[in-house]
Amino acid sequence: MQNIYFNKFINAILFLYILSLYILTYRDLLYLISNGLALLLIFSIAVNLLVTKRNIVINKFLISYTVFLGICIISVFFAIDQVNTISKIETLVLIFILMFALINYIDTNEKLRKMLFYFVISGFFASIYVLFTSDFSQITRFGEELANLNRLGINIGVSTLFCFYFIIEEKRYWCIPLFLIMFFVILLTGSRSALIFILLNIICVLYLCNRKGFFNKFKIAFIFAFIASISFFMIFNNSFLYQIIGIRIENLLSFLSKEGTEESSMNIRSNMLESGIEMFKNQPLTGYGLGNYGILFNRDYGGIETYAHNNLIELLVGVGILGGITFYFLQCLVIKQLFSASRYIHLNKMNYAFISLIFSYIILSVSSVYYYNKEFCIILAVGSVIFRIYKNEHSKLGNNPKKLD
């Protein structure tokens, strides 16, 4: 009985922490509250493990991440700015401890579902905050007070995807208003990356959950076409949304079609990509130290001191080819484990939502840096335990697993 109440306490802290990632983490001083909640969560889970005397779980993902962390630590010796590298490593170490704690706490379908629901509610609260605190008399991108707009849009996109999963697979139709509000706020952020992210996730989840039979494939095409059509109709037939994100989409299409665009951010990112490739070629094995792309870009390429806006380039320049390969290997490892969980589809298909998210993050590597993103690391860590959860739940039910064709 005491353990039940203690689990409820941990769940409450977990919810508050996830909520803080959306509304506190990227704000001056308030990030300390989020960090405090993370420490309280880690401490609570540690106490729970001691009280229940459960075996400590160390899975392949944690081992792989330890290797990645070790490569990052070694990069200190090659760093242009060691202080900056050490700061990034401190963040990764704290994230590693958090992931270790979650891997040892999330061990049932009930806990897994609750965590996904916490993401949905947190994204919804963040969206409501944006709607109620924005001045819509001015046409601009909204939500910057919470975080970098691309990051905010993608974070809300994670919540929107989990909400979509609950609607499509678990028939929780009361989630539809939440989905619509969060989707609308993604448009208000003006983030092209976030829009591509959520549309890519939607098509992935639809395909993975309904890829058998002609009717299911037709249903996939219809639902996705409907959502995409409504989205682009809203964007290009509403002057308000058109000026926020429609023009930016047109600029992206012009850039990709080689027509060129006058949008400075697109051209700057293109230059940053080319510069990053040159940096990597000059020092491919060791890199220049984790988080040192911006320093090198500013010093030798006449740019500003900022991150690469490309996850792969940021890692290749920072920790070399081995570090970059290791980080993407651990993502592929989790995806492989999630596909292995598909043999237990008689339980649920939640693993498909995680596959879609990780795959979408990999695709958007070209426009964002996420290796130290806490939301993504939580998704990776929890994704790495889903196979174990499904297998344990299956053993309790005593059924034969249903394998995919």
Q: Which of 137-141, 261-265, 393-397 has the highest mean pLDDT?
A: 137-141
Which three-class secondary structure state does DSSP give residue 338? helix
The Cα 150–Cα 204 span in angstroms is 21
Upper half-sphere CA count for residue 8 (Cβ side, 13 Å): 5
Contact call for residues 182 and 159 (beta carbons, < 8 A)? yes
Q: 279 falls in which pLDDT band (50, 70, 90)?
A: very high
Give the pLDDT score at 2: 58
Give the pLDDT score at 262: 67
Going by C-alpha positions, the residue among 329, 293, 314 that lies closest to residue 372 is: 314
29: which DSSP letter? T
Contact call for residues 378 and 102 (beta carbons, < 8 A)? yes
> Which structure tokens are listed for 285?
């094995």
Backbone torsions φ then ψ of 332, nearest 5 degrees: -65, -35
Which three-class secondary structure state does DSSP give residue 145? coil
Identify the helix (H) or strand (E) that includes residue 221: helix 214-236
Upper half-sphere CA count for residue 152 (Cβ side, 13 Å): 29
Contact call for residues 122 and 19 (beta carbons, < 8 A)? yes
Mean pLDDT over 66-73 rounds to 96
The Cα 359–Cα 185 span in angstroms is 23
pLDDT digits (tens, 9 = 90+) for 317-328: 999 999 999 999
Mean pLDDT over 295-311 rounds to 88
Give the pLDDT score at 29: 80
**Contacts (Cβ under 8 Å, ≥6 apart) of 26:** 146, 147, 148, 151
> Which of 7-21, 59-73, 79-93, 221-235 has the lowest average pLDDT?
221-235
Going by C-alpha positions, the residue among 364, 332, 353 that lies closest to residue 116 is: 353
Upper half-sphere CA count for residue 30 (Cβ side, 13 Å): 14
Q: 23 falls in which pLDDT band (50, 70, 90)?
A: very high
The Cα 110–Cα 87 span in angstroms is 36
Q: What is the mean pLDDT of the chain?
A: 89
The Cα 149–Cα 144 span in angstroms is 6
> Which structure tokens are listed for 391?
């297998």
pLDDT digits (tens, 9 = 90+) for 37-58: 999 999 999 999 998 888 898 9
Q: How far is CA 383 from CA 36, 45, 57, in A?
A: 24, 18, 14
Q: Where are the beta strands (DSSP E) in 144-213?
A: none
Contact call for residues 350 and 111 (beta carbons, < 8 A)? no
